Structure 1
Amino acid sequence: MFVKVYQYHIQTDKVSKYLSIQKKASDIYRKHLNVNTVYLQSKDDNTKWMEISTYRNEVEYNKTITLINEEEEIIRLYAEFQSLIVSGEEISEENYIEQNVKAASL
């Protein structure tokens, strides 16, 4: 499984707008990819969010993401999303591969 992890800070008074944008973007992604995304808000810093998306594999993701990113609606939603980021904060992005751990026999 291929995993994308993003971290960013959303203005506290813009959370409802953020969630609306993510719902619309998720709907677009799901039309093209088998993806499951979780959005986590920090308990220690309510502006800090983590977004974890899992995909079947990296090849499928790479094959499709260019087409998704060319859609006008995604471009518009991303611009709106960027306007919600806390001033001076960056969006971090990391890639992971899920590793299955087999249970040890006793």
Structure 2
Amino acid sequence: MYVKVYQYHIQKDRVEEYLDIQKKTSEIYDRYLDIDLLYLNNQDDDTKWIEVTRYKDKDEYEEKIIMINGQKEIQELFESFQSLLVPDKNEITEENYIEIKPY
């Protein structure tokens, strides 16, 4: 599995909007990719979120993401998402992993 991990901070009073955006975004991704999503909210800093997305493989992800990101609806959802970030913590970090199963 190809795994992407994102970390960002969402304003406390905008979590419902965030979850709504994520739901709409995942519906679009589901049309093109076999994707497994996990959202984690930090217990010590409730503005901090980690998003883990798992894809079948890197090649499929790279092939389809160009098409997905070119869609107007995704671009609008991403702009809305950016408006929810905590102003002084508005960085989005992104890391890439390969899932390894020891069995």
Same fold flag (TM > 0.5): yes
| 1:15 paired residue number | 15
Counterpart Cα distance in 2 of 1:7 and 1:100:
23
Q: Please give the TM-score of this superposition, normalised by the length of structure 2.
A: 0.98
More helix by share: 2
The number of equivalent residue pairs is 102
Over 4 Å off, 4+ runs: none
TM-score, with length taken from structure 1: 0.95
Give the C-alpha shift of residue 100 in structure 1. Answer: 1.5
**1:39-54 equivalences in 2 (<5 Å):** 39-54=39-54
What amino acid sits opposite 2:12 in the alignment?
Answer: T
* Gap runs ≥5 in structure 1: none
- What is the RMSD of the two structures over their aligned residues, measured on CA atoms? 0.5
2:70 is aligned to 70
Secondary structure of 2:15 counterpart: helix
Name the % identity: 51
In 2, the alpha carbon distance for the partners of 1:100 and 1:52 equals: 17
